[in-house]
Protein backbone atom coordinates (compact mmCIF):
# COMPACT_ATOMS: atom_id res chain seq x y z
CA UNK A 1 0.00 0.00 0.00
CA UNK A 2 0.96 3.60 -0.46
CA UNK A 3 1.78 5.64 2.64
CA UNK A 4 0.85 9.17 3.71
CA UNK A 5 3.13 11.60 1.91
CA UNK A 6 3.52 9.39 -1.19
CA UNK A 7 2.51 10.77 -4.56
CA UNK A 8 -0.88 9.43 -5.61
CA UNK A 9 -0.29 7.65 -8.93
CA UNK A 10 -2.14 9.42 -11.72
CA UNK A 11 -4.51 7.38 -13.83
CA UNK A 12 -7.34 7.61 -16.29
CA UNK A 13 -10.28 5.25 -15.78
CA UNK A 14 -13.73 4.87 -17.24
CA UNK A 15 -16.59 5.98 -15.00
CA UNK A 16 -19.88 4.12 -14.62
CA UNK A 17 -21.31 6.88 -16.84
CA UNK A 18 -19.05 5.77 -19.70
CA UNK A 19 -16.74 8.83 -19.55
CA UNK A 20 -12.99 8.78 -18.86
CA UNK A 21 -11.79 10.49 -15.67
CA UNK A 22 -8.18 11.49 -15.00
CA UNK A 23 -7.23 11.74 -11.34
CA UNK A 24 -4.96 14.75 -11.92
CA UNK A 25 -7.98 16.70 -13.22
CA UNK A 26 -9.16 16.81 -9.60
CA UNK A 27 -6.07 18.63 -8.25
CA UNK A 28 -7.07 21.34 -5.81
CA UNK A 29 -9.64 19.05 -4.18
CA UNK A 30 -9.35 16.18 -1.75
CA UNK A 31 -10.34 12.77 -3.10
CA UNK A 32 -11.63 9.70 -1.27
CA UNK A 33 -10.57 6.75 -3.43
CA UNK A 34 -12.30 3.65 -2.08
CA UNK A 35 -11.72 0.23 -3.59
CA UNK A 36 -14.43 -2.40 -3.29
CA UNK A 37 -14.43 -6.06 -4.35
CA UNK A 38 -17.62 -6.34 -6.42
CA UNK A 39 -20.66 -4.25 -7.27
CA UNK A 40 -23.92 -5.10 -5.50
CA UNK A 41 -22.45 -7.61 -3.03
CA UNK A 42 -23.50 -7.17 0.62
CA UNK A 43 -20.32 -5.55 2.00
CA UNK A 44 -19.85 -3.30 -1.03
CA UNK A 45 -23.49 -2.24 -0.89
CA UNK A 46 -23.19 -1.45 2.83
CA UNK A 47 -20.06 0.62 2.22
CA UNK A 48 -21.48 2.43 -0.80
CA UNK A 49 -24.75 3.21 0.97
CA UNK A 50 -22.88 4.46 4.04
CA UNK A 51 -20.85 6.83 1.85
CA UNK A 52 -24.02 7.86 0.01
CA UNK A 53 -25.76 8.62 3.31
CA UNK A 54 -22.80 10.78 4.44
CA UNK A 55 -22.21 12.31 1.00
CA UNK A 56 -23.39 15.82 1.90
CA UNK A 57 -20.65 15.95 4.54
CA UNK A 58 -18.03 14.93 2.00
CA UNK A 59 -19.31 17.68 -0.29
CA UNK A 60 -19.22 20.22 2.56
CA UNK A 61 -15.54 19.40 3.06
CA UNK A 62 -14.76 19.58 -0.66
CA UNK A 63 -14.04 15.86 -1.00
CA UNK A 64 -14.59 14.13 -4.33
CA UNK A 65 -15.69 10.52 -3.77
CA UNK A 66 -14.56 7.86 -6.26
CA UNK A 67 -15.35 4.18 -5.86
CA UNK A 68 -13.13 1.72 -7.75
CA UNK A 69 -13.79 -1.90 -8.66
CA UNK A 70 -12.90 -4.27 -11.46
CA UNK A 71 -16.53 -4.37 -12.61
CA UNK A 72 -17.70 -3.37 -16.08
CA UNK A 73 -19.31 -0.03 -16.87
CA UNK A 74 -22.66 -1.80 -17.13
CA UNK A 75 -22.37 -3.53 -13.75
CA UNK A 76 -21.20 -0.37 -11.97
CA UNK A 77 -23.90 1.71 -13.69
CA UNK A 78 -26.56 -0.72 -12.46
CA UNK A 79 -25.04 -0.62 -8.94
CA UNK A 80 -24.99 3.20 -8.86
CA UNK A 81 -28.54 3.41 -10.24
CA UNK A 82 -30.00 0.79 -7.89
CA UNK A 83 -28.64 2.51 -4.77
CA UNK A 84 -28.82 6.13 -6.00
CA UNK A 85 -25.11 6.80 -5.57
CA UNK A 86 -24.35 10.50 -6.13
CA UNK A 87 -20.63 9.81 -6.70
CA UNK A 88 -18.71 8.22 -9.55
CA UNK A 89 -17.71 4.58 -9.70
CA UNK A 90 -14.58 3.78 -11.69
CA UNK A 91 -14.32 0.64 -13.79
CA UNK A 92 -10.75 -0.66 -13.48
CA UNK A 93 -11.28 -3.70 -15.70
CA UNK A 94 -7.56 -3.95 -16.51
CA UNK A 95 -6.59 -3.67 -12.80
CA UNK A 96 -4.08 -0.86 -13.52
CA UNK A 97 -5.42 1.43 -10.80
CA UNK A 98 -5.72 -1.48 -8.38
CA UNK A 99 -2.10 -2.50 -8.94
CA UNK A 100 -0.82 1.09 -8.67
CA UNK A 101 -2.60 1.55 -5.32
CA UNK A 102 -1.97 -1.89 -3.83
CA UNK A 103 -5.56 -3.08 -4.10
CA UNK A 104 -4.40 -6.17 -6.00
CA UNK A 105 -1.16 -7.93 -6.80
CA UNK A 106 -1.73 -8.79 -10.46
CA UNK A 107 -3.82 -8.10 -13.53
CA UNK A 108 -5.42 -11.52 -12.97
CA UNK A 109 -6.89 -10.66 -9.56
CA UNK A 110 -10.58 -11.49 -9.39
CA UNK A 111 -11.46 -8.64 -7.03
CA UNK A 112 -9.96 -5.52 -5.50
CA UNK A 113 -9.04 -5.52 -1.83
CA UNK A 114 -11.30 -3.37 0.36
CA UNK A 115 -8.90 -0.46 0.97
CA UNK A 116 -9.17 3.33 0.73
CA UNK A 117 -7.10 6.47 0.44
CA UNK A 118 -7.67 10.14 1.00
CA UNK A 119 -5.63 12.14 -1.51
CA UNK A 120 -4.89 15.78 -0.71
CA UNK A 121 -5.26 18.80 -2.97
CA UNK A 122 -1.66 18.47 -4.22
CA UNK A 123 -2.01 14.83 -5.26
CA UNK A 124 -0.31 13.32 -2.20
CA UNK A 125 -1.64 10.49 -0.05
CA UNK A 126 -3.06 12.10 3.08
CA UNK A 127 -4.50 8.95 4.69
CA UNK A 128 -4.33 5.25 3.89
CA UNK A 129 -6.84 2.70 5.15
CA UNK A 130 -5.46 -0.84 4.77
CA UNK A 131 -8.44 -2.40 6.56
CA UNK A 132 -11.93 -1.09 6.08
CA UNK A 133 -15.13 -1.93 7.93
CA UNK A 134 -17.73 -1.20 5.24
CA UNK A 135 -20.41 -0.23 7.75
CA UNK A 136 -18.43 2.55 9.44
CA UNK A 137 -15.81 3.60 6.89
CA UNK A 138 -17.57 6.79 5.77
CA UNK A 139 -17.83 8.03 9.36
CA UNK A 140 -14.20 7.05 10.02
CA UNK A 141 -12.95 9.06 7.02
CA UNK A 142 -15.06 12.08 7.94
CA UNK A 143 -13.80 11.99 11.54
CA UNK A 144 -10.20 11.86 10.27
CA UNK A 145 -10.82 14.79 7.91
CA UNK A 146 -12.31 16.86 10.71
CA UNK A 147 -9.27 16.18 12.88
CA UNK A 148 -6.90 17.58 10.20
Catalytically annotated residues: 44
d(CA 17, CA 129): 27
* Cα distances (angstroms) measured from residue 124 to each of 9, 54, 128: 9, 24, 11
Side-chain-facing half-sphere of 105: CA atoms under 13 Å: 0
- Of the candidates 83, 96, 27, the one whose C-alpha atom is nearest the C-alpha of residue 55 is 83
3-state SS, residue 119: strand
d(CA 56, CA 37): 24
Amino acid sequence: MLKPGDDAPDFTAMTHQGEPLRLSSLRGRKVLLWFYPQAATPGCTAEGCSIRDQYSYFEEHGVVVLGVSFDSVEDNAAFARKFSFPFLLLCDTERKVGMAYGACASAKAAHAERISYVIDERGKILRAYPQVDPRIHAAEVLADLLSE
